[in-house]
């Protein structure tokens, strides 16, 4: 009986020791999620200021939000701290940082800056702008809700179904950061809105995009990988305007290219069969 009591007490002590570590594991990815949300909130406030420098700061804040969103998911997987609460909290933060914030920025930079005389030449250009921005937000929320229900592409292929919301937001932020001065021509404003529509369609589509989640960072890699990583980091630090735009554009386009290749292969296989 005494032995059982000692074992029971030891087991209770072990459970007490484990509780703080378990809470800490869940808290750590949550901190990065809060940082992601803070960046999205700051991006909205900076956009409302309206100056070119403030809009550039908003674009940078969205970029940092993408970084924090990547880190919190990686940490949660490494620590085994995935939870339903964390998933929903992360999605809500993503709606703000990758849906509302880039929509605000895109509208202010690409539509609201049009001179009144220029805007009068188009048919309800301002109304079209906020409608397209709202469409972008809806597609972002749709994409996140579908991911929470369906997850990744089936078969463990390491692909997202539809463009990830950080990639769509990153394309908007990278464009604003690269060009700088707001759009003051109706023609370019319409092209900008078409880009937003395209990004929204890609988010809500079934076009697959590479997820980079199958890369094992804790395994030995070729020395060439370190050279490429160093070049990428150096390019972003020294030539962030061009480098970030090229990276964002390449990721957006690669999903479409892969889909076209997949369709061509499927047709060729059907003909040979």
Which residues of the chain fall below pLDDT 70?
1-26, 81, 116-123, 152-157, 213-223, 273
Given a contact cutoff of 8 angstroms between Cβ atoms, the answer to whether 127 and 114 are in contact is no
Q: Measured between alpha carbons, how far is residue 206 from residues 12, 30, 73, 220, 256 in Å?
A: 49, 29, 22, 33, 10
Given a contact cutoff of 8 angstroms between Cβ atoms, the answer to whether 58 and 98 are in contact is no
Helices (H), 50-115: 52-79, 84-95, 101-110
CATH number for the segment(s) 2-272: 1.20.120.1760
For the chain, what are the domain ranges? 2-272
Given a contact cutoff of 8 angstroms between Cβ atoms, the answer to whether 153 and 213 are in contact is no
pLDDT of amino acid 115: 77
Q: Say what the pTM is.
A: 0.83
pLDDT of amino acid 16: 42
pLDDT of amino acid 217: 58
pLDDT of amino acid 221: 63
pLDDT digits (tens, 9 = 90+) for 71-125: 887 887 777 767 778 888 899 999 999 999 999 999 999 998 887 665 556 657 8
Half-sphere exposure of 141 (CA within 13 A, CB side): 10
pLDDT digits (tens, 9 = 90+) for 132-146: 999 999 999 999 999
pLDDT of amino acid 4: 47
What is the spatial distance between Cα 168 and Cα 57, in angstroms, rounded to a whole number? 18
pLDDT of amino acid 12: 46
């Amino acid at each position: 009986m005494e032995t059982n009591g000692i074992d029971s007490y030891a087991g209770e002590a072990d459970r007490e020791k484990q509780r703080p570590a378990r809470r800490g594991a869940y808290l750590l990815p949550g901190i990065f999620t809060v940082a992601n949300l803070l960046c999205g909130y700051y991006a909205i406030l900076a956009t409302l200021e309206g100056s070119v420098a403030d809009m550039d700061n908003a674009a940078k804040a969205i970029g940092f939000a993408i970084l924090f969103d990547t880190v919190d998911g990686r940490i949660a997987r490494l620590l085994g701290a995935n939870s339903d609460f964390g998933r929903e909290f992360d999605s809500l933060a993503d709606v703000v940082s990758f849906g509302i914030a880039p929509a605000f920025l895109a509208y202010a930079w690409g539509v609201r800056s049009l001179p009144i005389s220029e805007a009068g030449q188009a048919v309800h250009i301002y109304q079209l702008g906020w409608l397209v921005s709202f469409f972008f937000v809806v597609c972002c929320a749709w994409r996140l809700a579908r991911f929470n229900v369906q997850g990744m592409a089936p078969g463990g292929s390491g692909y997202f179904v539809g463009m990830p919301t950080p990639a769509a937001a990153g394309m908007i932020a990278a464009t604003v950061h690269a060009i700088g001065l707001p759009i003051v021509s109706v023609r370019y404003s319409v092209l900008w809105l078409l880009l937003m529509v395209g990004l929204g369609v890609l988010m809500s589509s079934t076009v697959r995009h590479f997820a980079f989640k199958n890369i094992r960072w804790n395994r030995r890699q070729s020395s060439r990988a370190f050279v490429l990583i160093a070049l990428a980091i150096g390019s972003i630090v020294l030539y962030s305007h061009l480098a970030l735009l090229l990276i964002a554009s390449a990721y957006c386009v690669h999903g479409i290219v892969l889909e076209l290749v997949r369709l061509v292969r499927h047709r060729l296989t059907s003909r040979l069969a």
